[in-house]
Structure 1
Amino acid sequence: MPVPSPVASRLKLAALFGVFLLPVALAWGMVEWRLGIPEARTAHGRLAPPLPALAAWPLAGEAAAGGDWRLVFDCPADCAAEADRWWRLHRALGREAHRVSRLRIGGAGAPLPGASAARWEAPPVWRAPGRVWLLDPDGRPVLQYERDVATDQVLADLEHLLERNPAPPRAMQDD
Protein backbone atom coordinates (compact mmCIF):
# COMPACT_ATOMS: atom_id res chain seq x y z
CA MET A 1 0.00 0.00 0.00
CA PRO A 2 1.46 3.37 -0.98
CA VAL A 3 2.13 5.95 1.72
CA PRO A 4 0.25 9.23 1.17
CA SER A 5 2.44 12.23 0.50
CA PRO A 6 2.75 14.90 3.19
CA VAL A 7 1.08 17.43 0.86
CA ALA A 8 -2.03 15.22 0.42
CA SER A 9 -2.25 14.67 4.17
CA ARG A 10 -2.07 18.40 4.82
CA LEU A 11 -4.76 19.10 2.23
CA LYS A 12 -7.05 16.54 3.89
CA LEU A 13 -6.41 18.12 7.29
CA ALA A 14 -7.07 21.62 5.91
CA ALA A 15 -10.32 20.40 4.32
CA LEU A 16 -11.39 18.85 7.63
CA PHE A 17 -10.71 22.12 9.47
CA GLY A 18 -12.58 24.01 6.74
CA VAL A 19 -15.66 21.84 7.13
CA PHE A 20 -15.90 22.76 10.80
CA LEU A 21 -14.61 26.35 10.79
CA LEU A 22 -16.36 27.69 7.68
CA PRO A 23 -19.89 27.63 9.21
CA VAL A 24 -18.62 29.42 12.32
CA ALA A 25 -16.92 32.08 10.20
CA LEU A 26 -20.07 32.53 8.09
CA ALA A 27 -22.27 32.86 11.19
CA TRP A 28 -19.89 35.41 12.68
CA GLY A 29 -19.94 37.40 9.44
CA MET A 30 -23.75 37.34 9.36
CA VAL A 31 -23.97 38.66 12.91
CA GLU A 32 -21.19 41.22 12.53
CA TRP A 33 -22.34 42.71 9.21
CA ARG A 34 -26.10 41.89 9.58
CA LEU A 35 -26.16 39.95 6.29
CA GLY A 36 -29.09 37.61 5.67
CA ILE A 37 -30.81 38.33 8.99
CA PRO A 38 -34.47 39.38 8.65
CA GLU A 39 -35.37 42.68 10.28
CA ALA A 40 -39.16 42.50 10.07
CA ARG A 41 -41.49 41.10 12.71
CA THR A 42 -43.99 38.47 11.75
CA ALA A 43 -46.86 39.32 14.11
CA HIS A 44 -50.04 40.49 12.41
CA GLY A 45 -51.19 42.63 15.32
CA ARG A 46 -49.59 45.40 17.33
CA LEU A 47 -46.84 43.79 19.37
CA ALA A 48 -46.59 44.60 23.10
CA PRO A 49 -49.25 47.32 23.29
CA PRO A 50 -48.68 49.80 26.15
CA LEU A 51 -51.57 48.57 28.30
CA PRO A 52 -51.76 47.52 31.94
CA ALA A 53 -52.04 43.89 32.97
CA LEU A 54 -55.53 42.37 32.99
CA ALA A 55 -55.74 42.60 36.80
CA ALA A 56 -55.59 46.42 36.50
CA TRP A 57 -58.35 46.66 33.88
CA PRO A 58 -61.57 48.20 35.26
CA LEU A 59 -63.69 45.06 34.80
CA ALA A 60 -66.59 43.54 36.69
CA GLY A 61 -67.25 39.85 36.12
CA GLU A 62 -65.31 36.63 35.66
CA ALA A 63 -62.01 38.13 34.47
CA ALA A 64 -59.88 36.77 37.30
CA ALA A 65 -59.19 33.29 35.87
CA GLY A 66 -55.46 32.78 35.36
CA GLY A 67 -52.81 30.42 34.11
CA ASP A 68 -53.89 30.31 30.46
CA TRP A 69 -53.22 32.43 27.43
CA ARG A 70 -56.28 34.62 26.98
CA LEU A 71 -58.11 35.84 23.92
CA VAL A 72 -59.95 38.95 25.13
CA PHE A 73 -62.40 40.72 22.86
CA ASP A 74 -64.39 43.89 23.44
CA CYS A 75 -67.97 43.46 22.23
CA PRO A 76 -70.42 46.17 21.35
CA ALA A 77 -74.01 45.69 22.52
CA ASP A 78 -74.85 42.98 19.97
CA CYS A 79 -71.86 40.76 19.28
CA ALA A 80 -73.17 37.26 18.66
CA ALA A 81 -71.27 37.06 15.36
CA GLU A 82 -68.00 38.20 16.97
CA ALA A 83 -68.38 35.78 19.87
CA ASP A 84 -69.01 32.95 17.39
CA ARG A 85 -65.98 34.00 15.33
CA TRP A 86 -63.65 33.76 18.33
CA TRP A 87 -65.28 30.51 19.51
CA ARG A 88 -64.51 28.99 16.08
CA LEU A 89 -60.93 30.25 16.27
CA HIS A 90 -60.61 28.62 19.70
CA ARG A 91 -61.86 25.30 18.28
CA ALA A 92 -59.39 25.59 15.38
CA LEU A 93 -56.52 25.36 17.88
CA GLY A 94 -57.28 21.64 18.22
CA ARG A 95 -55.33 19.90 20.95
CA GLU A 96 -53.80 23.21 22.10
CA ALA A 97 -57.24 24.73 22.83
CA HIS A 98 -57.01 23.83 26.52
CA ARG A 99 -54.14 26.32 26.87
CA VAL A 100 -56.28 29.29 25.79
CA SER A 101 -59.32 30.84 27.45
CA ARG A 102 -61.67 33.44 26.01
CA LEU A 103 -62.96 36.52 27.77
CA ARG A 104 -65.78 38.59 26.30
CA ILE A 105 -65.99 42.15 27.59
CA GLY A 106 -69.43 43.63 27.12
CA GLY A 107 -72.17 42.23 24.94
CA ALA A 108 -75.48 40.78 25.99
CA GLY A 109 -76.52 37.27 26.90
CA ALA A 110 -74.63 34.31 28.26
CA PRO A 111 -71.12 33.66 26.94
CA LEU A 112 -70.55 30.76 24.56
CA PRO A 113 -69.20 27.50 26.03
CA GLY A 114 -65.64 27.80 27.29
CA ALA A 115 -65.74 31.59 27.57
CA SER A 116 -66.23 33.96 30.47
CA ALA A 117 -67.87 37.36 30.42
CA ALA A 118 -67.09 40.67 32.05
CA ARG A 119 -68.14 44.26 31.57
CA TRP A 120 -66.38 47.58 31.83
CA GLU A 121 -66.98 49.37 35.14
CA ALA A 122 -65.53 52.55 33.69
CA PRO A 123 -64.30 52.29 30.09
CA PRO A 124 -60.60 53.22 29.89
CA VAL A 125 -59.34 55.73 27.32
CA TRP A 126 -57.61 52.97 25.31
CA ARG A 127 -60.83 50.98 24.87
CA ALA A 128 -62.25 50.53 21.36
CA PRO A 129 -65.28 48.32 20.66
CA GLY A 130 -64.34 45.34 18.54
CA ARG A 131 -60.68 45.35 19.56
CA VAL A 132 -59.05 42.00 20.38
CA TRP A 133 -56.08 41.28 22.65
CA LEU A 134 -53.90 38.22 23.25
CA LEU A 135 -52.70 38.10 26.85
CA ASP A 136 -49.96 35.91 28.29
CA PRO A 137 -50.60 33.61 31.29
CA ASP A 138 -49.66 36.47 33.66
CA GLY A 139 -52.33 38.72 32.14
CA ARG A 140 -49.98 41.03 30.23
CA PRO A 141 -51.09 42.11 26.72
CA VAL A 142 -48.85 40.59 24.06
CA LEU A 143 -50.73 41.47 20.87
CA GLN A 144 -53.54 43.88 20.03
CA TYR A 145 -55.75 43.69 16.96
CA GLU A 146 -58.21 46.16 15.48
CA ARG A 147 -61.81 45.28 14.68
CA ASP A 148 -61.21 44.41 11.02
CA VAL A 149 -58.45 41.81 11.60
CA ALA A 150 -58.75 38.54 9.69
CA THR A 151 -59.40 35.54 11.93
CA ASP A 152 -56.68 33.48 10.23
CA GLN A 153 -54.08 36.12 11.14
CA VAL A 154 -55.01 35.94 14.82
CA LEU A 155 -54.96 32.14 14.61
CA ALA A 156 -51.49 32.17 13.03
CA ASP A 157 -50.14 34.47 15.75
CA LEU A 158 -51.73 32.44 18.53
CA GLU A 159 -50.39 29.15 17.15
CA HIS A 160 -46.94 30.74 16.87
CA LEU A 161 -47.10 31.92 20.51
CA LEU A 162 -48.22 28.49 21.73
CA GLU A 163 -45.47 26.80 19.74
CA ARG A 164 -42.78 29.13 21.10
CA ASN A 165 -44.08 28.81 24.68
CA PRO A 166 -44.59 25.10 25.30
CA ALA A 167 -46.96 23.87 27.95
CA PRO A 168 -45.36 22.80 31.23
CA PRO A 169 -45.01 19.06 31.79
CA ARG A 170 -48.16 17.30 32.96
CA ALA A 171 -46.72 16.80 36.47
CA MET A 172 -46.41 20.59 36.93
CA GLN A 173 -49.95 21.18 35.64
CA ASP A 174 -51.42 18.92 38.32
CA ASP A 175 -49.91 20.95 41.19
Structure 2
Amino acid sequence: MQHAQVARYQRLKLLLIFIVFAAPMAAAWGMVKWGVGIPFGHKAHGEVHVAAPNLNEWPLANEPESLGEAWTLAFDCLSDCEQRKDELWRLHRALGREAPRLQRLRIGGAEHALPGELVTRWQEPPSWYSQGAIWLMDPMGNPALVFNEQTETTDILDDIRHLFKVNHH
Protein backbone atom coordinates (compact mmCIF):
# COMPACT_ATOMS: atom_id res chain seq x y z
CA MET A 1 0.00 0.00 0.00
CA GLN A 2 2.76 2.42 0.90
CA HIS A 3 4.69 1.44 -2.26
CA ALA A 4 1.67 2.49 -4.39
CA GLN A 5 1.58 5.91 -2.73
CA VAL A 6 5.31 6.47 -3.34
CA ALA A 7 4.92 5.45 -7.01
CA ARG A 8 1.93 7.79 -7.40
CA TYR A 9 3.89 10.60 -5.72
CA GLN A 10 6.82 10.00 -8.09
CA ARG A 11 4.51 10.09 -11.13
CA LEU A 12 2.86 13.28 -9.86
CA LYS A 13 6.28 14.86 -9.33
CA LEU A 14 7.35 13.85 -12.85
CA LEU A 15 4.10 15.26 -14.28
CA LEU A 16 4.62 18.58 -12.44
CA ILE A 17 8.21 18.84 -13.73
CA PHE A 18 6.92 18.17 -17.25
CA ILE A 19 4.22 20.87 -16.86
CA VAL A 20 6.74 23.41 -15.52
CA PHE A 21 8.96 22.96 -18.59
CA ALA A 22 6.17 22.55 -21.16
CA ALA A 23 3.98 25.47 -20.00
CA PRO A 24 6.20 28.27 -21.42
CA MET A 25 6.36 26.49 -24.78
CA ALA A 26 2.57 26.06 -24.84
CA ALA A 27 2.08 29.72 -23.83
CA ALA A 28 4.47 30.93 -26.56
CA TRP A 29 2.70 28.78 -29.15
CA GLY A 30 -0.67 30.20 -28.04
CA MET A 31 0.65 33.78 -28.25
CA VAL A 32 1.86 33.22 -31.81
CA LYS A 33 -1.23 31.28 -32.90
CA TRP A 34 -3.84 33.70 -31.55
CA GLY A 35 -1.77 36.90 -31.22
CA VAL A 36 -2.62 37.18 -27.52
CA GLY A 37 -0.26 39.01 -25.17
CA ILE A 38 2.16 40.14 -27.86
CA PRO A 39 3.22 43.76 -27.32
CA PHE A 40 2.59 46.04 -30.26
CA GLY A 41 5.64 47.36 -32.07
CA HIS A 42 6.53 51.02 -32.36
CA LYS A 43 4.41 52.88 -34.91
CA ALA A 44 6.24 55.74 -36.57
CA HIS A 45 4.55 59.14 -36.43
CA GLY A 46 6.41 60.20 -39.55
CA GLU A 47 5.78 58.93 -43.07
CA VAL A 48 8.10 56.02 -43.84
CA HIS A 49 7.84 56.23 -47.64
CA VAL A 50 9.92 59.34 -48.24
CA ALA A 51 10.00 60.74 -51.78
CA ALA A 52 13.22 62.68 -51.14
CA PRO A 53 16.53 61.46 -52.61
CA ASN A 54 19.81 61.04 -50.74
CA LEU A 55 20.83 64.25 -48.94
CA ASN A 56 23.90 64.59 -51.24
CA GLU A 57 21.52 65.06 -54.20
CA TRP A 58 19.47 67.88 -52.63
CA PRO A 59 19.60 71.18 -54.58
CA LEU A 60 21.09 73.18 -51.72
CA ALA A 61 22.77 76.55 -52.28
CA ASN A 62 25.79 75.54 -50.22
CA GLU A 63 26.76 72.09 -49.02
CA PRO A 64 26.79 72.11 -45.20
CA GLU A 65 30.36 71.42 -44.13
CA SER A 66 29.89 68.97 -41.28
CA LEU A 67 27.38 66.48 -42.65
CA GLY A 68 28.40 62.90 -42.04
CA GLU A 69 28.57 60.58 -39.01
CA ALA A 70 25.25 61.77 -37.44
CA TRP A 71 21.57 61.49 -38.28
CA THR A 72 20.27 64.71 -39.86
CA LEU A 73 17.01 66.42 -39.06
CA ALA A 74 16.56 68.62 -42.14
CA PHE A 75 13.70 71.07 -42.06
CA ASP A 76 12.21 73.57 -44.44
CA CYS A 77 12.11 77.15 -43.26
CA LEU A 78 10.83 79.03 -46.32
CA SER A 79 7.71 80.06 -44.47
CA ASP A 80 7.80 81.71 -41.04
CA CYS A 81 9.35 79.05 -38.83
CA GLU A 82 10.74 80.79 -35.75
CA GLN A 83 8.58 78.63 -33.48
CA ARG A 84 9.43 75.35 -35.28
CA LYS A 85 13.14 76.24 -35.25
CA ASP A 86 12.97 76.74 -31.48
CA GLU A 87 10.94 73.54 -30.93
CA LEU A 88 13.46 71.46 -32.88
CA TRP A 89 16.33 73.01 -30.92
CA ARG A 90 14.55 71.98 -27.70
CA LEU A 91 13.91 68.50 -29.16
CA HIS A 92 17.64 68.19 -29.89
CA ARG A 93 18.50 69.17 -26.30
CA ALA A 94 15.90 66.70 -24.97
CA LEU A 95 17.90 63.83 -26.50
CA GLY A 96 20.41 64.31 -23.66
CA ARG A 97 23.47 62.09 -24.09
CA GLU A 98 22.14 60.93 -27.47
CA ALA A 99 22.20 64.52 -28.81
CA PRO A 100 25.57 64.15 -30.60
CA ARG A 101 23.97 61.47 -32.81
CA LEU A 102 21.73 64.15 -34.39
CA GLN A 103 22.37 67.37 -36.29
CA ARG A 104 19.82 69.90 -37.48
CA LEU A 105 19.91 71.30 -41.00
CA ARG A 106 17.68 74.33 -41.51
CA ILE A 107 16.86 75.17 -45.11
CA GLY A 108 15.87 78.82 -45.44
CA GLY A 109 15.07 81.47 -42.87
CA ALA A 110 17.47 83.89 -41.19
CA GLU A 111 21.22 83.35 -41.55
CA HIS A 112 21.68 83.31 -37.76
CA ALA A 113 21.90 79.67 -36.60
CA LEU A 114 20.82 78.31 -33.23
CA PRO A 115 23.38 76.12 -31.39
CA GLY A 116 23.95 72.81 -33.22
CA GLU A 117 22.12 74.00 -36.33
CA LEU A 118 23.52 74.12 -39.86
CA VAL A 119 21.90 76.66 -42.18
CA THR A 120 21.54 76.58 -45.95
CA ARG A 121 18.87 77.38 -48.54
CA TRP A 122 17.37 75.80 -51.65
CA GLN A 123 18.90 76.68 -55.03
CA GLU A 124 15.34 76.07 -56.11
CA PRO A 125 12.76 73.92 -54.29
CA PRO A 126 12.76 70.37 -55.76
CA SER A 127 9.64 68.58 -57.04
CA TRP A 128 9.45 66.35 -53.95
CA TYR A 129 9.68 69.37 -51.62
CA SER A 130 6.84 69.97 -49.19
CA GLN A 131 6.47 73.29 -47.34
CA GLY A 132 7.16 72.96 -43.62
CA ALA A 133 8.36 69.37 -43.98
CA ILE A 134 10.90 67.83 -41.62
CA TRP A 135 13.05 65.02 -42.98
CA LEU A 136 15.02 62.61 -40.82
CA MET A 137 18.03 61.32 -42.73
CA ASP A 138 20.23 58.43 -41.62
CA PRO A 139 24.02 58.95 -41.26
CA MET A 140 24.49 57.88 -44.90
CA GLY A 141 22.13 60.67 -46.06
CA ASN A 142 19.25 58.32 -46.91
CA PRO A 143 15.76 59.47 -45.96
CA ALA A 144 14.28 57.54 -43.04
CA LEU A 145 11.12 59.51 -42.14
CA VAL A 146 9.33 62.67 -43.20
CA PHE A 147 7.06 64.68 -40.92
CA ASN A 148 4.55 67.32 -41.96
CA GLU A 149 3.96 70.71 -40.34
CA GLN A 150 1.21 69.33 -38.10
CA THR A 151 3.39 66.62 -36.49
CA GLU A 152 3.92 67.30 -32.80
CA THR A 153 7.54 67.77 -31.70
CA THR A 154 7.06 65.12 -29.00
CA ASP A 155 6.06 62.59 -31.69
CA ILE A 156 9.17 63.44 -33.73
CA LEU A 157 11.30 63.02 -30.59
CA ASP A 158 9.62 59.66 -29.93
CA ASP A 159 10.47 58.43 -33.45
CA ILE A 160 14.09 59.65 -33.19
CA ARG A 161 14.57 57.94 -29.83
CA HIS A 162 13.12 54.71 -31.27
CA LEU A 163 15.42 54.84 -34.30
CA PHE A 164 18.45 55.52 -32.09
CA LYS A 165 17.48 52.55 -29.91
CA VAL A 166 17.23 50.12 -32.84
CA ASN A 167 20.25 51.58 -34.69
CA HIS A 168 23.14 51.43 -32.28
CA HIS A 169 26.41 53.20 -33.13
TM-score class normalised by the smaller sequence: 0.7 to 0.9
Residue equivalent to 2:59: 58
Per-residue deviation at 1:146? Answer: 0.6
- SS of 1:73's equivalent in the other structure is strand
1:90 shift after superposition: 0.6
Structure 2 residue ranges without an equivalent (≥5): none
Cα shift at 1:155: 1.2
Paired position in structure 2 for 1:43 = 44
Verify: 1:31 aligned to 2:32, yes or no: yes
Q: Is the 8 A contact 1:78 1:108 kept in 2?
A: no
Secondary structure class of the residue paired with 1:26: helix
Matched, 1:76 2:78: yes
Structure 1 or 2: larger strand share?
1
Query: What's the offset of the Cα at 1:117?
Result: 1.5
Deviations 1:60-96 (A, max 9, x none): 3244611111111111154332221211111111111
**Structure 2 Cα separation of the partners of residues 44 and 83 of structure 1:** 19
1:5 equivalent in structure 2: 6
Would you say how many aligned residue pairs link Structure 1 and Structure 2?
A: 166
Equivalent residue in structure 1 for 2:115, among 100, 113, 116: 113
Contact 1:62–1:116 (8 Å) recurs in 2: no
- Give 1:51 deviation, angstroms: 2.8
**TM-align CA RMSD:** 2.3
Deviation at 1:151, TM superposition (A): 1.1
Q: Name the CA distance, whole Å, in 1 between partners of 2:40 and 2:166.
A: 19
The 1:20/1:83 distance shift into structure 2, 3 A limit, reads same
Moved more, 101-110 or 47-56: 47-56
Shift of 1:16: 1.7
**Secondary structure, aligned partner of 1:28:** helix
With structure 1 as the length reference, what TM-score do the two structures score? 0.82
Task: Decide whether the 8 Å contact of 1:62 with 1:117 is kept in 2.
Answer: no
More displaced stretch, 57-66 vs 95-104: 57-66
Amino acid at match of 2:21: F
The answer to whether the 8 Å contact 1:60/1:119 transfers is yes
Distance 1:49 1:37, change over 3 A: farther
Deviations, residues 92-136 of structure 1 (Å, cap 9, x unaligned) = 111111111110112222221211112222322221121111121
Contact kept? 2:60, 2:123, Cα under 8 Å: yes
Structure 2 partner of 1:135: 137
TM-score normalised by structure 2 residue count = 0.84
Q: How much identity, in percent, do the aligned residues show?
A: 47
Bigger Cα displacement from structure 2, 10-19 vs 126-135: 10-19
